[in-house]
Amino acid sequence: MPRSRRERPAKPALTRAGIVSAAIGVLRAEGLPKVTMRRIAQELDTGPASLYVYVRNTAELHAAILDELLGTIETAPERGSWRARVEQVLGSYTRTLFEYPSLARSAVSARPSGENYLNLCERLLALLDEGGVPPAQAAWGVDVLLQLATATAAEHATQDESSDNADEWDALTRALHGVSADTHPRIAALGPRLLSGTPEQRLSWGLRSVLNGIAHTPVPEGEPK
């Protein structure tokens, strides 16, 4: 016999934190494409319209998921150079995105604004300040550093998920190694180096290059300091 509504246990009240928690559960079990308002509503035994009181749309939900996962990023150790600690923080950020390939791609355009994202920015700004980077350059530099780390994670996530990735990589390798020195002399001379290094080495080099640029490149004149 069907149970009366009065006999059923009361459903927990909806909260933004509960919605994000359910979304992360679906992300881990089924992937980001399944993280939709309808799917989360099903998980919480409610209607999609109820979720919009707490989350405006799917894009905001994805940004909230990213912010929640940012809480797992390792804090920078007290010792070591400020540059090395910036690398450690952003390396941990990138590894977090590596675990969720679809989220890594979404993070390119997602705009988290929660406490964990603010903590990450504050941590990076503190390290740049420790290194003597002028405030205006540090303010712009944080954005560039996060863009590089996010794009790196998104690129490798795309490669890992593509069934044709090995063939595409082989084709690129053959193209670079097979160019004529007459028509493409620089590629012919640097062919092996264009593809050298591990992803970790290339990210580390990229971050150090960007840090050098941030430290020595003033923001344009007329911009707010």
The pLDDT tens digits for 114-128 are 899 999 999 999 999
CB 73 within 8 Å of CB 89 = yes
Rounded Cα distance between 92 and 41, Å, is 32
Distance of CA 27 to the CA centre of its chain: 15
Burial class of residue 154 in the structure, from the number of CB atoms within 10 Å of its CB (0-12 exposed, 13-18 middle, 19+ buried): buried
Q: What is the mean pLDDT of residues 23-32?
A: 91
**Residues 58, 59, 60, 64: is their CA dihedral positive or negative?**
positive
CA distances from 38 to 20, 27, 104, 111, 176 (A): 14, 14, 22, 22, 47
Token match 């591990």: residue? 198
Question: Distance between CA atoms of 92 and 88, rounded to whole angstroms?
Answer: 6
Residue where the block lists tokens 């405030």: 135
Q: How confident is the model at residue 17 (pLDDT cuts 50, 70, 90)?
A: very high
* Residue 72 pLDDT: 87
| Residue 162: band (very low, low, confident or very high) from pLDDT cuts 50, 70, 90 | low
Residue 20 pLDDT > 90, yes or no? yes
Q: What is the pLDDT of residue 158?
A: 65
User: From CA 88, how far away is CA 204, in angstroms rounded?
Assistant: 9
Whole-model pTM: value is 0.81
Of 191, 187, 207, 209, the C-alpha closest to 199 is 207
Residue type, 121: C
Residues 6+ apart with CB under 8 A from 12: 18
User: Which residue in this structure is represented by tokens 């990138």?
Assistant: 94
Per-residue pLDDT band at 192 (split at 50, 70, 90):
confident
